[in-house]
Structure 1
Amino acid sequence: MHDMLTSWISSRGLESTARSFLAKVDTAPGATMNDTDKKLLKLLPHQGQEDYRYFDQEKITLTSLGRSSYILKDFLQECRSEYLNKIRDKITIFGHRGVQWKRDRVKEARPLSTVILRESEKAPLVADMKDFLNARTRRWYAQRSIPYRRGYLLHGPPGTGKSSFSLSVAGELGLDIYTVSIPAVDDQSLKSLFQELPANCVVLLEDIDAVDSAHSRDSMAATPASGQELSTVTKGVSLSGLLNVLDGVASQEDRILIMTTNHVSALDAALIRPGRVDRTVRFQLVDQDVAMQIFHYMFAQQGDASNQDPHSQPRLGVESQAREFARKIPEGRYSPAQVMSYLLQHRNAPDVALSNLERWVESTNGPIAPVQRRSVSAP
């Protein structure tokens, strides 16, 4: 009856006349279509009894003298406007404490141009995400009763940029990102977290290979021994639990899901089938193209010789240095993170980074065997 009554009130616009109301950010599907509609306030008539879902969340109560509530509504809108100005060009990252989402930090959005990934893979991936968020796409899904969600799998060795790309693309899309490390949750907590997701967000599930596929398959056949009760406490996330969260009857829509793994071969085929994973991208170890991108990214801004090590040789052009760096570094041996860590040691002296490169390679992996290399053109 409560739902029936509030539905009648809302359908006639009478909720705005309430003198007492509950304010929250609108998380309904389709609530965020563009920047002007981001984090809209939702005001609900309030009679002192709160929804159970809010008991564990922080709460502030505001009151004002007089019969009109407009001063409070104006104040809340001012708070919203000031907050949106503060987070402009920033990304809000949410983690979780138990089954509650908590804002971890707000940081400057990292431009996608700084994420080292082949442009032939990066551009189509970002374009696909932007197309999914388009209002026309949303209507197309609704007209055909297709669940409005999109899934991506990023796989590759550690340090190849999977998490960095996820954070960067969330900033590019203007969405908050909600991160979950699979080893840190179980079936129930993961289900609860997904139920509390807002509309229009990026969900990052890291280390998806930690899903317990074996437990999921065996649990249906397991029966308790005589006189014993089967425990309902399950450690970790089972495959069936994850699949129910992703596309079960009560699964969350209106979100972009990114899953990452270092071991794609360990994933169950049911998890990565079309419909759950729409696009798969492999993040690889450094080859010549990526090596050139990294070197260029690290040193391209140093347009004069004032930052150059006084003991180094006269600097070549950055493009020439990048090509030389790419020729010298072994392909398929280092992650982008390892290469950047090395270059950071010589961040003001690219000439020194070049001259010390072979010594660093030998100290980390032994001498380089001669290899046949393909030609590299300047970016």
Structure 2
Amino acid sequence: MKKFLIVFIFTAVINYSQYNFWEIYNTMPNPVAGGDIWQNEGNVFIFGGYSDSTQNYTNWVQGYNLLSNNWKLDTMKVARFGLVVENFNNKVYFFGGINSNDSSINGISNWGSDFLGENSFSFNKNFNRIFSTGHIVGDNLYVIGGNPLPGTRTDSMAYIFEYNLNEAKITYSIDTLFKDNDFPEQQMSEVIGNDIFIFGGEVNGISQDIYKYNIVDHSYTKLDIKLLEPRAGGRAVIGDSPNQIIIIGGFNETSLALKSVEIFYATDNEYFIEQGAPIQQARYNFMTAKSDGYVYILGGFDENGNVVNSIERTYLGNVVNVEDNLVANKFELFQNYPNPFNPTTSIEYSIPGVSSKINFVRVIVFDILGREVKTLVNENQKPGIYKIQFEGSDLSSGVYYYQLQCDSYIQTKKMLLLK
């Protein structure tokens, strides 16, 4: 039985491929930076932003089909830059930002999914802020950070507040975390379960800190781990598994625009962060969308402050990191880490050779019976040291094997999934 299993594993065939790196997918006919997106499956709607062509903030609502590449244009009542857009009960809710008269905007508005027009939903001074971050969870909108234009703050505001959309009122707020109501701006955030994870941002410098806000007990906790580098003005998006957050781009005090990507994991109050594959073009204040297993990034500013017109995407099935400046002198498959794991682990391998040589590489996962359960890599790769993620949330606990195949080289290792 053991001999049959080994032969089965070594002769397994991979039937499909996955994208591992960011690629330039398309271009925007009317590129903007500092807008935000509402998405309905493969259709995205980009609200507002700054345009190089108009040299001003826009009131555009750009509809874009990610598959057909069709665009259409509508308008909001006023221009907005640095706003937040969220979806609730088939309506688009948006708030904040600055308009073309350099005035910040109070209140929250909505737009029906039929896109027949904009309605003013509610006035509240707490929505008078630029470059905040926010999420709708259940019936509540959670707004985090951001500040009004200097001189427009009339009284104290809350760094974090919970706004019930059915009752149209604030139901909870935290206003004691920062002195003089000087809140962080351009933070990145995402939701895992009942927790909102908040990354970086700009307040008295660019931060590397990571915080967790629990929407049930309203606790606000600084995590022991930090971002790998300070960043603000990027985006955070849920990755291939619900406990994985991808933090993309932005800027800091040494780089006016970042290419770097970080991958954050949260499991049972244990946290881990590592480097991801960089995007093609450094940018900040861009927009993100997800569809059919891909993450898309659209627009934003480059390091010179010019609006980027390119759209990039990566396949979420395998977010890969390649350490380009490390030279491998032999084929090697390393032990996964952590091991045992639940449900995500890192697998690292090296491919030797001169930099111009291309190798066809396969990395496959099998169960204990020799059945292929996942294909992690199936593509041409240059020599280097690679790190990939294996996510096993859809698999049962037990022993699994992962295998590297490159030319005539084959190596297999064992790992243990414990749930």
Q: TM class by shorter-chain length? A: under 0.3
Of Structure 1 and Structure 2, the greater helix share is in: 1
Rg larger in structure: 1
Instruction: Give TM-score, length-normalised by structure 2.
Output: 0.23
User: Which protein has greater RCO, CA pairs closer than 8 Å, 6+ apart?
Assistant: 1
Bigger strand share: 2
